[in-house]
Structure 1
Amino acid sequence: MIRSVLTGTGSALPVRRVSNAELAAQVDTSDEWIVERTGIRFRHLAGPDETTATLGADAARAAIAAAGLSAQDIDLIVLATATPDQTFPATATKVQAMLGIDDCVAFDVAAVCSGFLYAVQVADSMLRTQVHRRALVIGAETFSRILDWEDRTTCVLFGDGAGAIVLESREVEQQGRGILATRLHADGRHNDLLYVDGGPSTTGTVGKLRMKGREVFRHAVTNLAAVMTESLGIAGIDAGDVDWVVPHQANARILDATARKLGLAPEKVVVTVDQHANTSAASVPLALDVAVRDGRVKQGDIVVLEAMGGGFTWGAAVIRI
């Protein structure tokens, strides 16, 4: 059978690392308040010369190198972001140019924090047709650009960064490596719980992020547990056979509650929210790269990726690394 096999991971973070204490000097908050409610201790914030595209390109270079490839080996780029460099063209095309790729298919996917999962399914579908051979799937964000820095309930939650993976179309056996299952959902009725109050066709402005955190928390725990169960069922994998869960890094309490709902041991959950905060579409590939590079996630492991974001959108993927 033909599967999309993950052959490399990479990530990139802005130079500036900001602690809760530094934020508390600017916003009416405290390290204790942030840690207790979110588990976040640090986040990285992009400087003037750091953009979604530059971070995405850096993560892509690391993933390509880890896969033992050159940029010219890539013939598909799918980039997930809610904070593109420009309204158009797609940030993926800017990354393509930065990587020195003369010609390939390159486009963006917009599904906020679930964007990387959406991008994975899109790339997987295209690779299985074998029209494309190797894909870069990137999640990259500069969420600091759309935060209201006077709203202490939201500005402390987010950070900037990028993560990337290389997927390669390969013929494998039933028990071989690759993406085993993906499952996506959306429910636009919940727009007012997590959104940005601007846009080209409404206000002509970028807008700022707005969120009703308590309601989002409730939906996140229910939806994420359900979609992980769905995707494992499609893959024919028991929860007990999962080696690692790499979740969207939104809030430590959501990660804990979701793991409990599924009966997963906390030590099987990759957690980076304390160091990076919520980097939206970048959070899953960024956390995956951390766990691959520190040796936790190894070839042959069964890994579940999951995320939920504004829209609401949510999804999961089961991969044999």
Structure 2
Amino acid sequence: MSNIIEPNNLCPLLVVIVNYRTANLTIDCLRSLVSEVQSLPGMQAVVVDNDSGDGSAEKIGTAIKTEGWSDWASLLPSDYNGGFAFGNNAGIRPALKSSNPPPYFFLLNPDSIARPGALKVLVDFMDEHPQAGIAGSALEKPDGEPWHITFRFPTILSELDGGLNLGIVSKLLSNWVIDRSMPPDKPSETDWIPGASFIIRREVFDSIGLMDEGYFLYYEETDFCLQAKRAGWSCWYVPQSLVQHIGGQSTGYTYDSLEPAKRLPTYRFDSRRRYFVKNHGLLYALLADTVWILGFASWRLRRVIQRKPDTDPPQLLSDFIRNSVFFKGGASS
């Protein structure tokens, strides 16, 4: 069941939503785009269903038809779940190959709600900043709390900080800590932004190609933003564009810090290893693994001595070591 819309020369933006067993949320996400279509005439959206196998594709296709969205929304069922990058590429690739590819592509998670004007703000920003290759929205947690955070690229020093979990070290390494608090009232340049909601200029794909499908989930947007930066494109955080993001509805990992930590999936370690080996080489990846393992081992000992609660994911240290470069080398999976 598909109804792929061919982009035309009036299409200012193609929205790509990758669904995996979140049909109801995807339909709500599409519903939030109705007002955006009015502010961006010709805008189109494609939902890629990553082989959900639970009736999601049929349910979404029916909603597109019954809600009267068929003139701007379409469904692209996939018979294979290749992950986040794979799904987004499946939606982007046909548009890039069309006779009139849109100037911008907007990646939007299915568990997101675009607030009024969110997409128009990003399109206007990109029009006004021709060197900006990527720009992302401010995210809003389910309880309405704004999340003004972007990220720095991972380095050996950020891995040391992440493993140690020690306040004084985090202060000393503040310029390398991954999380980066952003001004809530003005656009700011940054390293990379969450893949839940960001816009990409078409020429970025001309420069670096599509997203790396070697990542199943996690690190694909980090890698993409790094490749774009190396090609001369800047990445921006635009808080005037607001998107509510529930988070973790396909993976089970949410913003809720009160929920017990879950064991991390193997693909998360695979993606981390792929990122470091691909972008910095095997030796650098070995050093990054070493400092994290030593730092985290010291944190686990310190936690016991200080009698602090154990909030780490189960078996994190053993899982990390088992999936490190030491045991898997440069393999991505």
What TM-score results when the alignment is normalised by the length of structure 2?
A: 0.33
Larger radius of gyration: 2
Task: Kindly indicate whether structure 1 or structure 2 has the higher relative contact order, using CA contacts under 8 Å at least 6 residues apart.
Answer: 1
The structure with more strand, counted as a fraction of residues: 1
